[in-house]
Amino acid sequence: MIRLSFILWAIMLLAWCAMRYPAMRRARRQKTAVDKRTTLDITLLTLCGVGLALMPVLWRLGALGTFADRGQSIPALVLGLVAACGFLWLFRRSHKDLGRNWSVTLEVREGHQLVTQGVYAFMRHPMYASFFLWGIAQALLIPNWIAGLAGLTAVAALYAVRQEKEEAMMRETFGAQYDAYCQRTRRLIPGVF
């Protein structure tokens, strides 16, 4: 059961890589109009990479021994798979809807447009919501309290620091148009939060 859980997690990671790679290539070709990256921003992104990708691999390779291991149940595996599917769908949809407006860091591209259609019609930060789903999927699929929760913890830290800065940057760029958009959408959970 543990082997199957890890394989499902690894498939999720590989699917994410396959989806992210084209967006990264496209983003490198785009010119940046506003760059608000900070050392903290880059550090938190690195922490997400460690928490969401490296920690489960290190756990599987035995780097943590059996410290903080827990049992794996079928309900946790099934819920983890459901969360993983939700993550991958929302992640892909977010990238599709953003198109050339996407950036991994706090940047505004030349010719940047405010995206308010697709999943962005229902929530302002679907990409972050997808990463929270990844963290939840990982917590359910990786039966180790440290490696399992490392991703969710890192994503929460990134979101806590970046969300206000990102919204301020969008407000600077789009003004009243962004304020109106904020009035009709929630941040992460449609209709709730």
Domain contains 81: yes
pLDDT of residue 27: 87
Domain contains 24: no
HEC-encoded secondary structure of 3-46: HHHHHHHHHHHHHHHHHHHHHHHHHHHCCEEEECCCHHHHHHHH
* pLDDT tens digits, 87-146: 999 999 999 999 999 999 999 999 999 999 999 999 999 999 999 999 999 999 999 999
Domain contains 85: yes
What domain range is 49 assigned to? 2-13+45-103+113-184
DSSP for 148-162 reads HHHHHHHHHHHHHHH
pLDDT of residue 2: 86
- Of 115, 96, 131, the closest CA to residue 19 belongs to 96
Give 30's pLDDT tier (boundaries 50, 70, 90): confident
pLDDT of residue 88: 98
Sole residue written with tokens 């109106």:
180
Domain contains 75: yes
Domain contains 154: yes
In percent, the amount of the chain with pLDDT more than 90 equals 91
Domain contains 193: no
Q: What is the CATH number of the domain that holds 122?
A: 1.20.120.1630
Domain contains 84: yes
* Average pLDDT score over the chain: 95
Domain contains 20: no
Q: How many domains does the chain have?
A: 1
